[in-house]
Amino acid sequence: MNILLLGSGGREHTFAWKILQSNLCTTLFVAPGNAGTAAIATNLNFSDTDFVSIRNACLNYAIQMVVVGAENPLVNGIVDFFAQDSSLQHIAVIGPNKEAAQLEGSKDFSKKIMLECGIPTATYATFTKENFENGIAYIENHSLPIVLKADGLAAGKGVLICTSHDEALNEFTEMLQHQKFGDAGTTVVVEEFLDGIELSVFVVTDGINYKLLPSAKDYKRIGEKDTGLNTGGMGAISPVPFANEAFIKKVESRVVVPLLDGLQKNGINYKGFLFVGLMMMHDDPFVIEFNCRMGDPETEVVLPRLKNDIVTVFQAIANNTVGELNLEFDADTAATVFLVSGGYPGDFEKGLVITGYNDIKESLVFHAGTKANNDSVVTNGGRVMAITSFGKNINEAVLKSLDAAKKINYVGKYYRTDIGLDLM
């Protein structure tokens, strides 16, 4: 079967690497991909939201399955686009449809479903320009810190944690009166701050049946010891030691099962991967957010631990046979450390030549912001490469990745050396 994978990050290079281990894949195409995917598959030069080019490529290359890495194509309705086109209906698109992808595409939708299903989450209220004054009063009476969330997709920047009422009032006004996040911020969710330890749990579902993938912990801040600005993710660990069996059972019974039931009751058919972003507080799970896709960099530690053929997992999602899957995972710990561009998450230079990555033998190197340029590979984004290693424990896995990180070179290379340290 010919497969088209959509996206260009470390998550997609990891998916590509895993898909190519399957006998079920004849030819893998990636759009737009990066230098890492170009080395193992065929990159196609169009955006993952360019549905017309995606359609043409599917017809030209006899694609039978489309795997969607990132949220934008899903929230924009790629699944519905394929279902409505008679020349594309035979192609399985792995991911939720537009309505189901609202779990990530609209924070207000996601909070409403959680409330309706009794899923533990932060208390909240939603405001628009129409009830702006009520929002001001709500914020003035809210305990600190106050969390403001742009309703729509804002490339990971739409969540603000405000430590004073003045800051919250300013930001709230910027979002609703001055379009701080454009259309994404015309509705704002104001919610309670959850104080605990963050982790993610991943679910594979055909809408009715589900299976859990391992938990993972992502390190979001640019600086050591979780300081400085938020990034797309500086590293990840899987499994998460504190997410023991008892905790995961609570996640299933209090979050996953009620959510899938609630979606079905609302006539919403959620198929694909579901990312459950959680805060653990006193051993109990609270949902921070749902995402309609796998995480990045969590994929770089979760997929390498999966022993099953990933294409059979995709087929189970498409054929409603997820209940029959028997997923198996490597018991060892996987750690990934992201190498980023100097200056990231602020301004950074692109086009810097990267060397040394081909000499790494003890770890997996997944490309993210990289591009092939004549005979060399150059930086092409903030997050450049994720180095994943296995170990008997977190320390062993992280040390291997840090060792490999020293061997890869480009001007301005930066990475955190404390990934997983808090868990040891």
Beta strands 210-218 and 197-205 are: antiparallel
The 10 Å Cβ neighbour count of residue 91 is 20
Partner whose footprint covers residue 40, from ligand GLY, ligand AMP, none (CB < 5 to 8 Å by kind): none
d(CA 287, CA 198): 10
Min dist CB 148 to ligand AMP, Å, is 9
Cβ–Cβ under 8 Å, residues 42 and 72: no
- Strands 63-68 and 92-94 turn out to be parallel
Partner touching 298 among ligand GLY, ligand AMP, none, CB below 5 to 8 Å by kind: ligand GLY
CA distance linking residue 97 with residue 271, whole number of Å: 8
Beta-bridged to residue 276, according to DSSP, are 201, 290
Check residue 295 for interaction with ligand GLY (CB under 6 A).
yes
In angstroms and rounded to an integer, the radius of gyration of the C-alpha atoms of the chain is 21
C-alpha dihedral over 344, 348, 353, 354, to 10 degrees? 0
Per-position x/- string for 296-335, each x denoting binding to ligand GLY as judged by CB under 6 A, each - no binding: x-x-------------------------------------
Given the rule CB under 6 A, which of 26-34, 81-89, 168-176, 293-301 is the region that contacts ligand GLY?
293-301
Q: Which does 151 bind (CB under 5 to 8 A by kind): ligand AMP, ligand GLY, none?
A: none
191 sits near ligand GLY (criterion: CB under 6 A): no
Q: Which does 73 bind (CB under 5 to 8 A by kind): ligand GLY, ligand AMP, none?
A: none
Q: How near is the Cβ of 218 to ligand GLY at its closest, in Å?
A: 4
Residue 233 near which of ligand AMP, ligand GLY, none (CB within 5-8 Å, type-dependent): ligand GLY
Strand order in the sheet with 197-205: 284-291, 272-281, 197-205, 210-218, 235-238, 333-340, 383-391, 364-367
Quote the least distance from Cβ 251 to ligand GLY, whole Å.
17
Residue 301 C-alpha from the chain's centroid = 12
Select 210 or 219, whichever has its Cβ closest to ligand GLY: 219
User: Residue 147 binds which one of ligand AMP, ligand GLY, none, with CB within 5 to 8 A depending on kind?
Assistant: ligand AMP
Q: Which of 48, 99, 171, 218 binds ligand GLY (CB under 6 A)?
A: 218
Stretch that binds ligand GLY, among 122-130, 170-178, 294-302, 385-393 (CB under 6 A): 294-302
Min dist. Cβ of residue 121 to ligand AMP (A) = 8
- Give the separation between CA 208 and CA 344, rounded to whole angstroms: 41
Return the range that interacts with ligand GLY (CB under 6 A); candidates 263-271, 292-300, 323-331, 389-397.
292-300
The full DSSP string for 266-306 is TT----EEEEEEEEEETTEEEEEEEESS--TTTHHHHGGGB
Point out which residues bind ligand AMP (CB under 6 A). Answer: 122, 147, 156, 159, 161, 191, 193-194, 198, 220, 277, 288-289
3-class state of residue 29 by DSSP: strand
> By C-alpha distance, which of 188, 266, 259, 229 is closest to 346?
229
Q: Name the burial class of residue 46, with classes exposed (0-12), middle (13-18) and buried (19+) by CB atoms within 10 angstroms of its CB.
A: middle
Q: Which does 296 bind (CB under 5 to 8 A by kind): ligand AMP, ligand GLY, none?
A: ligand GLY
288 binds, among ligand AMP, ligand GLY, none (CB under 5 to 8 A by kind): ligand AMP
Using CB under 6 A, which of the segments 180-188, 222-230, 295-303, 371-379 binds ligand GLY? Answer: 295-303
Residues making contact with ligand GLY (CB under 6 A) = 218, 233, 291, 295-296, 298
